[in-house]
Structure 1
Amino acid sequence: MSGLDEILNLIETQQQQGEELILKAAKSKAAAIKAEGDKKAQTAYEDFMHRSKEQTEKDYENACNSADAEMKRRILACKVGLIDEAIEKTVAKLKALPDNEYFQLIIKLAERHSQPEKGVLSLCSKDLARVPADFESKLNESINKKGGSITLSKEAADIEDGFILSYGLISENCSFRAIIESEKDEIRDTAARALFGR
């Protein structure tokens, strides 16, 4: 083999060794880049899954809280509706009482709202037409305990039921609806206890 062939073989061998070294270095670098990429991808995946899990748990908790609040709101609205319905039925029953019981109730309410002075009691036109003959005397018999007296007005009051009790310039609306409005919270509490046992 001539010297030229040896040189060419040497160059070829060196070139092959250089190529192998370059390929080996490139493969090593590619493996390192891939390993680093895999590690970053795994970290990103774990971070995403962790954040997703936390967000899912928060969304679930918020959904549960929202559903719970909505359920409580609906239950409360239903209870208020039932209480209001019970109050309306009570007012209807009071209006439908037989005359004797109705006017006994008026006397009790008048005694409760009376003052120890002279007053005037005005009934609605429907009640004024059916008032018992001894109503005013029974009313005053009850009111005298407080040291006052009440005269029954011949003029009808502009109310549906109950009465208006006047002392001079001061008048108190004692219609059933007005009494319920003035004592609404207490009436609702009593109705709630009776209906729901709370």
Structure 2
Amino acid sequence: MSGLDDILNLIEAQQKQTEDSIMKSAADKARKIKADGAEKANKAYEEHLSKAKVQAEKDFENSCASADAAMKRKILACKVELIDEAIEKTIDKLKKLPDKEYFELILKLVERHIQPDKGFIELGKADLARTPKEFESELNTLASKKGGSIQLSKEAADIDDGFILSYGLISENCSFKAMIESEKDEIRDTAARALFR
């Protein structure tokens, strides 16, 4: 029996050795696979982290640029609103000038638009009611210097302030709002320089 036991022991020893060899080989392969996997995972993680960092920086820059643009738009809108408010207050102050000063202003404005022809001027209802007696003669004095004449209409124009000056078929609306509207950009620039140096 001892020969058979020796053979069985030998077979068992070889089997154990083969098992150990297979187990060692499998463990080595598993370690290598694990190491390769860890290396690939680390590389993928680093790449992802790098891309995410670049994207985060881009997103941050875009957000900053967007916020800056939005802030500039709001500041500009605020400035435009303040300028328009200043213009409205100026028009209101002009309307509320004492009669003498108001009509002196009207004469200065008329003088800029006089032509060497027969003209016709219309005032708004409120201005027509408070027109000084000498106003029409002062108009004609200005007009005669340029070789023309101006007649004051007894009918009120549909304007709140200023005047409408007509020469034949051509009429010019010189109400304060219309004059400001025609020179809005220049007036806004002047107001902006005064308000926001």
Please report the TM-score for the alignment, with normalisation by the length of structure 1.
0.95
- Letter aligned with residue 171 of structure 1: S
Counterpart in 2 of 1:65?
65
Residue 180 of structure 1: aligned partner: 180
- 1:90 Cα shift? 0.3
Cα deviations by residue, 1:90-112 (Å, 9 ceiling, x for unpaired): 00110011111111111111111
* Partner of residue 108, structure 2: 108
1:47-86 mapped onto 2 (5 Å cutoff): 47-86=47-86
What is the TM-score of this pair, normalised by structure 2? Answer: 0.96
The one-character-per-residue Cα deviations of 1:88-136 (angstroms, maximum 9, x if unpaired) are 1100110011111111111111111222211101111211111111111
Which ranges in structure 1 are unaligned for 5 or more consecutive residues? none
Q: What residue in structure 2 maps to residue 134 of structure 1?
A: 134
Match of 1:95 in 2: 95
Q: Deviations over 1:28-61 (max 9, x none)?
A: 1001110111011101111111121112111111
In the alignment, what sits opposite 2:160? 160
Q: CA RMSD in A?
A: 1.2
Instruction: Give the whole-Å Cα distance in 2 for the aligned partners of 1:145 and 1:59.
Output: 69
Instruction: Report what 1:4 is aligned to.
Output: 4
Letter in 2 for 1:87: I
Q: Which runs of 4+ in 1 moved over 3 A?
A: none
Q: CA deviation at 1:170?
A: 1.1
- Once residues 118 and 190 of structure 2 are traced to their aligned partners in structure 1, the CA distance between those partners, rounded to angstroms, is 33
Which deviates further from its counterpart, 2-11 or 177-186? 2-11
Gaps of 5+ in 2: none
